[in-house]
Each structure stands twice: as C-alpha cells, then as structure tokens.
Amino acid sequence: MNWVKLVGIIKSFYPEKLVIPVLISCPEYRQRLLDTLTASFGPIDFISRELNFNYSSYYTEEMGKSIKRIFISIHDLVVPQELAEIKIQTNSIETKFIQGGKRKINLDPGFLSLSRFILATTKDGSHRIPLHSGIYAEITLIFEQKKFRPVEWTYPDYRSQEYLDILKEIRNLYKDQLKKLREKGELS
C-alpha cells in the first residue's frame, strides 16, 4: 500500500476579510470608535449605512432602546488563526465605551471568506468551536449558489436580506483583493 496517497497535504490558510459588526447606542461615539478600530486593525475599507437593531431585546437593558447596527470591514486581510486574539482585543475596546457601568457599543468580529462568514463569541454552545482563551468560533452563514444562506443557529438579524446584501458587498471587495494578490503573485 502506498501510504503517501493517504496523507493529506498541509497548506497555509488563505487570508480572510475581517468584518466587525457593531451595535452602537451612542452616536457621539461613532467617530472615536472608527478611529480606535483603524488604530487597532488597520484602514477601514467599508462602512455600511446605519440599520435599526430591532431583532431582539437582548441588549436593551444594557444599551437602551435606540440601538443601531453598522458593518465595518478592514482592508488588511488576516489569517484565520488570529480570530481569538481579535475577539479579545475587541472586548477590550468595548470597555473604553462603557458609560454608567453599561456598554454602549458591542463588537462581534468575524471572518468572511469566499465560502462562509464566521463570528467569534465568548458563549459556548454545541455548534461552536473552542479556539482558545474562552473564545469560540461559529459558522454563521455559508456562501453557495451565489448567495449567503443561514444555517440552523443563525441569529434572526443575520438572516435578513439587508445583512445578507451588505455581507455580499463586502465579499465582493474581498474577492477583488484576492484577485489582485494573485495577479501580483502574492497568493497561489
């Protein structure tokens, strides 16, 4: 028997697009937050319009009733194994925006690839993969047949056409970045 054929070939991960969905309840913090994210992760290449967050009352007690969602993507691509460190860093950033002992922003970083959208979380669950330091990863959306589709545990807001359209627009940015990297010979 030829054992070489049975061994998988280990390859490097492709870099992925860092997307930071933001919940914000104090509009006056927006520019400071954008500056902080840029200083932490590099230039921002996409900011969605503000969307009303009315899919759940989970954050209402802490953040108030007027919560907005924006999606931010970072220009510099990131290797997937950095997701836990990024979530730890965004949790630290959240603490800079606490008012009266309550968060006024919530950051849920994730990675977008050509085939999926993954979010990082501190919450365990049967469908979540432990990374390290109390951080888990969850496949939130799968891209197939030219569109994102939810999976069984996808949150209601990530099932909305608004969110799916925004993420597809970010995916197109990412796809163009990969194409340019291949043309330069920086990606195989």
Confidence check: pLDDT of 145 > 80? yes
Confidence check: pLDDT of 1 > 60? no
* pLDDT (tens digit per residue) in 62-94: 999 899 999 999 999 999 999 999 999 999 999
How much is the pLDDT for 187?
A: 85
Average pLDDT over residues 24-43: 97
How much is the pLDDT for 114?
A: 97
CA 17/CA 112 separation, integer angstroms: 5
**Confidence band (pLDDT; 50, 70, 90) for 2?**
low
* Burial per residue of 88-108, b for 16 or more beta-carbon CB atoms within 10 angstroms, e otherwise: bbbbebeeebeeeeebbbbbb
At 87, is the secondary structure helix, strand, or coil?
Answer: helix
Residues contacting 60, CB < 8 A, separation 6+: 67
Confidence check: pLDDT of 186 > 70? yes
| Residue 90 CA from chain centroid, whole number | 11
How much is the pLDDT for 188?
A: 77
